[in-house]
Structure 1
Amino acid sequence: MRSHQTHSSSALSFIFFFFLLFISFSLSTSKLEPSKHKPTRKQSFSSILVFGDSTVDPGNNNFINTIFKCNFPPYGIDFKNKIPTGRFCNGRLVTDFIERVIDIPSQLEYFREYKRKLEKKMGKDKMEKHIGEALFCVSAGTNDFVINYFLLPIRRKTFTIEAYQQFVISNLKQFIQGLWKEGARNIIVAGVPPIGCLPIVITLFSSEALTNRRCIDWFSDVAKNYNILLQKELGFMQMNLAHLGSKIFYFDIYNPLSEIIHDYQKFGFEEVSSGCCGSGYLETSFLCNPKSYVCPNTSAYVFFDSIHPSEKTYFNIFRTLRPVYDSIFGCI
């Protein structure tokens, strides 16, 4: 397990937010590379549009008025020239790897603004065609449970955990329906990871946080049950919209990450219960900064900070999801 010095930190409370991005990934790193072979495709996409939390943000948070940023070292330490891009990671995210293998309520308003800008540049018909041929990725839910329900008391006073799961799914469903009305036709929705295994969750909620840093199964079970409900809801949506040309599918993040965590040595990792930055127990965002201790080998850690996986972990998740992606969107 880790042996570096421990820094004192305070518990964090986060504002849940969504990001919209038009991915244009140009940075490179030699540490991890997906296969250079590009399969013949039955379908290509005009662009990737990603809606999600900090696990998929490539740097849009840099332009939001919030203290929870990561556009400073040691974030981005494994990019060429060690450039911090605003990704909550030492390098690339799952969405970056997806971009490499394909051709390339406020959140919706950002999207509408993006469409208006596109229409001015290419005209309405081309804009609508562009949106219809884009791939939409939605990743949300982790902060809803970890922060808005378990860490902050307001939601817990209003909802049972079962009612809150339905509440989150209802909001997400409305969001996806909004994307559909705006022209989205190819949508993948990521489930929630095993939140009981996040270092910050172990630190804040385990009775043995310092002596026996194991996953907290009850928290992960909440995520697992939510994912089951989400998968069913997305299945119903796809059934109802398939005849109109929709592809709405669920991406399982839980099981690939859970397998890595519970059998981390098989994947070449050495540390799983704490992050690479600082003590690894609480540090993220501004608490993981240029003055923080950083582990000498980021690839040995499942998590880069106390919440976000390392680039190597994201790559392993991507590699697991690649066959699913190919089967859904026609790569052969």
Structure 2
Amino acid sequence: MSDTSDALFQPYALGGLELPNRIVMPPMTRSRASQPGDVPNELMAAYYAQRASAGLIVSEGTWISPLGKGYAWTPGIHSPAQVAGWRKITQAVHKAGGRIFAQLWHVGRLSHTSLLDGQAPVSSSAIQAEGVNVFVAESNGTPGFVQASKPRALKLEEIHAIVDDYRQAARNAMAAGFDGVELHAANGYLVNQFIDSNANDRTDAYGGSLENRLRFLAEVTQALIEGTGDKRRVGVRLAPLTTLNGCADADPETTYLAAAKLLGTLGIAYIHFAEADWDDAPHMPVEFKRQLRAAFPGTLIYAGKYTAERARIALNEGWADLIAFGRPFVANPDLPERLRIGAPLNTHDRATLFGGSAHGLTDYPALAAA
């Protein structure tokens, strides 16, 4: 499929992996894990294997510990059964010729007591994410969205224990056959709740100054390097200018340039930037992207309403190395081939995004079938 005249289809070396193209399937929550136990399953394996022509797949967010869960029917990577379930998925993707990283996820305050056996969610601070809803299941199995519960602030020893949870999750991911791991430090989840100034009112070593607010990011990233045994197998997802799920920073460009420099010193493989993708979202200037390129020596991935045309511009201008296409991958299992030849794209069914069966997950037609 390599086409050296098309920037999207030039091969790329990511750490020790050889990617056949510059197209990434980013993390997308689909809430199809088997119950009880939130175990990855054969249906999910079929879904990911269908999309193995991506240069790189990053799995849906997978929670690292019971208190890290924030949405119903999402898979974990905490129990032996979950690790075994993910192994089926990585084997299916590899058999289909693909490469897959696990996105490691702790939602922090973006959860509900009904998902946590009655416990309150945890966060950097006891600040509620007002107006933010999370996906839950009623006692009769009916899905729905409810206001996230008010969190409690983590104690110092609990922060250290969560860093250990991340290290173990990285070990579990490697045991499950993943090619690497991505830290979810974006979109208002736990690591983001430490980074962004309006979500962190701590007065200890994890709050206040920018250096302190980046401390948790640094410690977790180092734990993932230790857990995988290879810094080239670690990426981090950041969302510098978004205010998704109630997180915002007083000076985001300064904060995230510092975060990029920090991650560069740790030597990780990539940073995956999530640009806002809603209609009135804040714009991420190209000049800021160029500054991020100068700050971080590794691979840069961008995601956020990219078309093939916009993706080629980003790659040709040099501020991006790989481009992630989110919802187009939902409805187009053969998205790279469609982008290569300019074929029409299937449209996804919003009603089937979260929860359900094979319908809306594995039954979208490929070009040959269509």
Shorter-chain TM-score category? 0.3 to 0.5
Higher helix share: 1
TM-score, normalised relative to structure 2: 0.35
Larger strand fraction of residues: 2
Instruction: Name the TM-score, length of structure 1 as normaliser.
Output: 0.38
